[in-house]
Amino acid sequence: MVSPTLKGELGAYGIGGKLRALRLTRKLGLVELGRHTGLSPAMLSKLERGIMFPTLPTLLRIALVFGVGLDHFFAASAPRRALGIVRAAERRRFTEKLGGREVAWEFECLDFTATERVLNAYRVRFAQAAKKPRAHEHAGAEFLHVLSGRLGVTVAGEEHLLDAGDSLYFDSSQPHSYRRLGARPAEAMVVTVPA
C-alpha cells in the first residue's frame, strides 16, 4: 500500500495520463495493449487512472511497446516545487553507528518529501552517553538546536556544551562529534547544507 505522501509524489509525474496518451495516439485499446505487454487490461486501466503505480519492470514493458524510454514517463512533468510535508506518522527512525558497534544516535528525516531541497533537516535522539564519540565530517555547514537534554558537540577538537534551547552553527567539513551529557536522553534538530 502506498502512503499518501508517496501517492502524491508519484501522482505529480502523471504516469497514468502519459500512458493513456501514448495508447490513444497509437489507437490501441486496453485489450490490445495487454496482449503486447502481457499485462491484464484491468491492470492497465488502473495504471492509467492512477489507482495503481507501476513497478519499473512493468513500466519498462509498456515503454518498449511504444518505443520510448523510461524517461518519457518522468521527464517534462509539471514544474516541481520545493515543497514537502512530512507527517509525524510517516517518519522513519534510522540509526547511525559511524563504523562502530554501538548506536551513536537515532535520527528521523524531517524533509524527505521535498524534491528540490537545498538543505536537509533531521530530528536526532542521543539515547546513550558515548564514552568516546567518533568524529565525522562532510562538506557544507551544519546547524544544531537542542530540543531537550544536554549535548557536548566537539568541532575541530573543541567541545561546546549545549543545554535545551541552545544552538550551534559550524563548518561541517571540520571533524565533529556529539556526546550526550547527563542521564536523560537528549534531542536536537540538525540541519545540514551541502557545499
Using the 3D structure, point to which of 74, 96, 115 is the last residue of a domain: 74
Please tell me whether residues 93 and 35 are part of one structural domain: no
149 residue type, one letter: G
pTM check: above 0.75:
no
Q: Which residues neighbour 48 within 8 Å (Cβ) at sequence distance 6 or greater? A: 16, 17, 19, 20, 23
Please tell me whether residues 135 and 69 are part of one structural domain: no
Please tell me whether residues 43 and 111 are part of one structural domain: no
Given a cut of 50, the residues of the chain with pLDDT beneath it are none
Share of the chain above pLDDT 90, in %: 41
Give residue 84's pLDDT.
81
Reduced to 3 states (helix: H, G, I; strand: E, B; else coil), residue 18 is helix
Using the 3D structure, point to which of 74, 105, 127 is the last residue of a domain: 74
Q: 185 with 127: CB under 8 angstroms?
A: yes
Helices in the chain by DSSP H: which ranges? Answer: 4-11, 15-25, 30-37, 41-48, 56-66, 71-74
17 occurs within a structural domain = yes
Q: 150 with 186: CB under 8 angstroms?
A: yes
Give residue 173's pLDDT.
95
Please tell me whether residues 108 and 164 are part of one structural domain: yes
Reduced to 3 states (helix: H, G, I; strand: E, B; else coil), residue 183 is coil
Please tell me whether residues 67 and 124 are part of one structural domain: no
Please tell me whether residues 96 and 186 are part of one structural domain: yes
Please tell me whether residues 170 and 129 are part of one structural domain: yes
User: Can you give the CATH number for the domain in which 18 is found?
Assistant: 1.10.260.40
Q: 120 with 148: CB under 8 angstroms?
A: no
Q: 183 with 148: CB under 8 angstroms?
A: no
pLDDT in tens, 122-169: 999 987 766 778 888 999 999 999 999 999 999 999 999 999 999 999
Give residue 79's pLDDT.
58
Q: Quote the domain boundaries for residue 24.
A: 4-74
Give residue 118's pLDDT.
85
User: Can you give the CATH number for the domain in which 128 is found?
Assistant: 2.60.120.10
Q: 112 with 152: CB under 8 angstroms?
A: no
Please tell me whether residues 123 and 70 are part of one structural domain: no
Q: How far is Cα 162 from Cα 51, in angstroms, rounded to an integer?
A: 49
79 occurs within a structural domain = no
Q: How far is Cα 43 from Cα 31, in angstroms, rounded to an integer?
A: 11
